[in-house]
Each structure stands twice: as structure tokens, then as C-alpha cells.
Amino acid sequence: MSRVMRLAVAGVGNNISALLQGLYFYHELLKQHVGSAGLPGILHPRIGGMNVDDVEIVAAFDVRAEIIGQDLHAAIFQAPNNYPHLGVTMPQQAAKVALGLDLDQSGAVVRREQVVDELRRSEAETLLYSLPTGMQWAADAYAQCCLEAGVGFVNCTPEIVARNSEVLAAFVTAGLSLIGDDLASHLGTSVVHRSLLRTISERGLTLRSSYQLNIGGNEDFRNLLQNGGSKKKSKKNALAQSAADLDLIEVVPSAGYISHLKDNKIGMINVEAVGWGGTPVSVDLKLKVQDSSNAAGVIIDLIRIAAAAQRCGLSGFHAAASPMLKSPPFGHPDDEVSAAETALASLEPRVAAE
């Protein structure tokens, strides 16, 4: 029997819109007795005994005045959110959006106590941290609140949380999960680009040059136009795992904020190589995805891993999460994927022998 996990969220952006609508989308499919193998877009129908729809959002924090106090199922559609309506029926939610952590004029964090109280009141097992990229202070402060309230933490952003060894040690000591940092997309441009470069190299062709451009119309693309430097570096590093020469590869994380694309992301990849006799080979690829679905498709696994591990008495980082993160605390081991599958299996509840 599955037990619904209780989730708190910090930041009510497109990711949460995708997550919440998706929960009801899959709930309807499961009610219609669709075999879980046939759930579209789902890699792991069951983790730790939980189905895809065994998640309830019990607390939600944000600082945008216009959504504070709104029921979550309405708040997720407020601008600048622009993830599409999936056409599912959503009931009233357990959670109304509460005022979250902020900085006062002196730069001090305010409302810690209220956030801790709300986390306790909601009996959340895990908090999903999904605020806009670039607010290290907020990631730090929410992690502290979780430690105080006895709640696990999943970090979607590139801020350093799970990679901070002191913070990780504190979660271990507290018996809480800490999963992060930085989501790897479900099917992102990096994954596809890396796979293409690997194929070319495995076949013995010689890379001459490659580039990757990404455009989109959500807030991420607007932010990245200015602040794409660290993302660019991390993306180039992700590609270099295939032994491709970094000098030959250019990556532009946000080549344009195109508002009418809304939450769609378009990645364009070019690879120029040479084969036999030095004759040229070129590949051009265009990938179009719903950006926040790309996140939610991974979030659904990370939050179930965090809750399941905690329920098993495990704490800190869990190896099952490693392939779904750009920067896990212990890097990407060579046998990561099979290690993660083994780790996932270990989270499944055992049927007691009679």
C-alpha cells in the first residue's frame, strides 16, 4: 500500500505549476486503470512504494504579494507563470501560498520563525526549493528552517546546498534527506548534445566544432540573458564528459528571451566533424520541449527519493538521485546509472514474511 508524501514548496513558479497539474493528470490516468507502464513521460512509475500521484502539496512559500493567501491551484496560473493549462480538474488544495523568507533593508533574513512554524504545522516531509536562480542566501536560510522543523530538502537550483559539506553533515545528523544540487532536465539540450557527440566519437569521426543555442520565453531565459556565465561553463563541462575538446564547443544558455514561446524551450545544436579522407560530416538538431515539464519529470523522482529514504531511516544524500542532478555532492561516478537503479530498488518497501 502506498502512503502519500507531504511536500512543501519554496517558490510558486512554472515548475510547481507543472508538478501540481501533472499530479492530477497522472491521477486521472491511474484511475482509468492505465497500467503504470503506459504512463506517458514517466521513467519510474513507483519509488519507495509511492505512485506518481502519491504526492500532496501541504505548504507553499513565495513573496509575490499578488498570490499570497491564494489557493495553490489558482496561484500557479498567475503571471509571469506561463506553463500551459493541461486541462485537468483540480480541487481546492491543502496549501494556500504563505509569505516566505525575505531580506530586510539591512540584508537580514526575515520571517524564519513563521516559515518554521508553517513547515511544522503542515507536517511536510520534504521541502522542494525552486526559487529563481541566484539567491544563495535564500537557499541557505530555507535549508536552516528545514533543519529546525525536521523537514528534508530538495534543491532544484545551482545554489550550493548539498555540496556544502557542513550543511550536508547537519542533515545527516538530523536524520533528514538532502538532495541536490541543480536539476538535470528530463530531456535537456545537454543530454541530447552529449549523446550526439558521444555517437560521433564512438564511430571514429573527428570533431571540428560544435555549438548549442537555447531560447525560451519564461523568466529563466530572461534571467540567463544577463547571468548566463556560470550556466555556460557548467553546460560546457557537462558536454566535455564525452571527451570532446572544450575549445571546439560553444554553448549559449540563453540566446534569446522570446516572450511568445512562453514556457517552451528550443535548443539548437550543430556539430561539424570529419570522416574518411577528411570529408565533412555535419549534424543540425532542433529540440523543442516544455521547459517546466522537463523539470517536473525529474522533480517527481527526487522528492519521492527524499521521502522514501527518510522513511527508511536513511539521511543526507541518496545515490539514486545522482543521475538526475547536474552537480551532486559526490560528482558523477562512471557506473552512476546502474548504481542509481540499484539504489532505487533498495528504497522499495519489503512485504513482511509471515
With binding defined as CB under 8 A, does residue 149 bind a copy of itself?
A: no
Nearest-angstrom CA–CA distance, 58 and 53: 14
CB of 14 to a copy of itself, least distance (A): 12
With binding defined as CB under 8 A, does residue 349 bind a copy of itself?
A: no
CB of 290 to a copy of itself, least distance (A): 4
With binding defined as CB under 8 A, does residue 240 bind a copy of itself?
A: no
CB of 96 to a copy of itself, least distance (A): 23
Question: Which residue lies nearer to a copy of itself by CB, 46 or 208?
Answer: 208
CB of 282 to a copy of itself, least distance (A): 5
Residue with grid cell 528552517, as numbered in its chain: 145
The x, y and z cell numbers of residue 181, run together, are 544540487
Taking the alpha carbons at both ends of the chain, their separation in whole angstroms is 17
| Interface pattern 245-284 for a copy of itself (x via CB under 8 A) | ---x-x-x--xx-xxxx------x----xxxxxxxxxxxx
Nearest-angstrom CA–CA distance, 153 and 172: 12
* Binds a copy of itself by CB under 8 A, chosen from 215, 240, 339, 343: 215
Which 84-123 positions form the footprint of a copy of itself (CB under 8 A)? 84, 86
CB of 84 to a copy of itself, least distance (A): 7
* Count of residues in contact with a copy of itself, rule CB under 8 A: 63
* Binds a copy of itself by CB under 8 A, chosen from 205, 240, 312, 339: 205
**Which residues contribute to the site for a copy of itself (CB under 8 A)?**
18, 21-22, 25-26, 40-44, 84, 86, 186-187, 191-192, 195-196, 198-200, 203-206, 208-209, 211, 213, 215, 248, 250, 252, 255-256, 258-261, 268, 273-290, 293-294, 296-297, 300
